Amino acid sequence: MEQVARKKDYVAIVLFAVFTVATIIGVPAFAYSHGFSRVDWAMFAVLYMASGLGITVGYHRLISHRSFECRNWVKVCFLIVGGWAMENSALRWCSDHIRHHARCDQEEDPYNALKGFWYSHCVWIFHKSPYREEKWESKLRKDPLIMWQHRYYIPIVLSGLALPFIVGVWSGGWMGGLSCFLLAGVCRIFLVLNSTFCINSICHIWGSQPHGQNDSSRDSWWISLVTFGEGYHNYHHTHLRDYRNGPKWYNFDPSKWLIYTLWKLGLASNLQRYQA
Ligand SMILES: [Zn+2]
Ligand SMILES: [Zn+2]
């Protein structure tokens, strides 16, 4: 397919640059001069898990792949904490992701791994894709909760940054607010972003292909340790709708454990499983 010109996305470029510099320079400098409190680290852990699982369980397995169903209020929770990861609204993220699976390794693939590590890791977000077409999001647009989240995406992102700031001010004054904002807001967003990026880059370059060789997807179990179980990417590309990415009981896949727990509690249903 012929390459179509891509316009730069300056908002994404500036935001990514600010969060990268603040995390790589600002966080160590602040740790050296002031140090972070237990409240900062606790908020960091809670928000890292909430926003990370919001992406893997909410955006990815629930909305993009419909690998289970859940109550509306549970879906709203996933849409809010997933929005806190600042990875775009679910409407944009999931339509991009549906296109990734449908056009894997082709020009239309938003994070085409054949263009190299850095492109599939983060450079792809610096351009507005000319392939964001209506057909990839038409089903998503029928869901009023997804459209609600899309409309209020910016206030949702800001609430995810305001929360650590407010908790920090409450526990340690203005300086406490700044340190909690820096660690559990800015640094946490940067790390969750890169954890998601690793699936598109590393899991399409390094690892094994025990389940199929139709595309560049790979199983990298060690990536599962930092991506809530999404490192078993070759299995996922082969059995798209399975609610598990690591199908064996010993595979480290906290996202499947959360979905299974929700099912046990009566909050999720219709869990999809590939039966060999
Ligand atoms: Zn997927
Ligand atoms: Zn993939």
Give how far Cα 260 sits from Cα of 7, 93, 112, 256, 266, Å: 42, 24, 31, 6, 10
2 in any annotated domain: no
Backbone φ and ψ of 197, nearest 5°: -60, -35
Does some domain include residue 274?
Answer: no
Query: Does residue 234 fall inside a structural domain?
Result: yes
Is residue 159 one of the residues assigned to a domain?
A: yes
Nearest ligand to residue 199 Cα: 2
Residue 179 lies in a domain: yes
In angstroms, what is the span from residue 169 Cα to ligand 2's centroid?
40
Average pLDDT over residues 196-203: 96
- CB neighbour list of residue 30: distance below 8 Å, 6 or more residues apart: 36, 178, 179, 182
Ligand 2 centroid vs 97 CA: distance in angstroms? 8
Q: Within a domain: residue 256?
A: yes
Structure confidence at residue 133 (pLDDT): 86
Q: Which of 5-9, 29-33, 94-98 has the lowest mean pLDDT?
A: 5-9
Whole-number Å distance, alpha carbon 129 to ligand 2 midpoint, is 17
86 falls within a domain: yes
Binning pLDDT at 50, 70 and 90, where does residue 2 land? Answer: low
High-pLDDT (> 70) share of the chain, %: 98
Total structural domains in the chain?
Answer: 1
pTM check: above 0.75 = yes
Region label for 116, one of left (φ > 0), alpha (ψ between -120 and 50) or beta (otherwise): left
- Name the residue range of residue 179's domain: 7-269
Tens of pLDDT along 135-182?
999 999 999 999 999 999 999 999 999 999 999 999 999 999 999 999
Ligand 2 geometric centre to CA of 78 (Å): 21
Residue 276 belongs to a domain: no
Closest ligand to C-alpha of residue 198 is 2
Q: How many angstroms separate the alpha carbon of residue 32 from the centre of ligand 2?
A: 38
Contact assessment for residue 244 and residue 273, using Cβ atoms and an 8 Å cutoff: yes
- Cα of 81 to ligand 1 centre, how many Å? 19
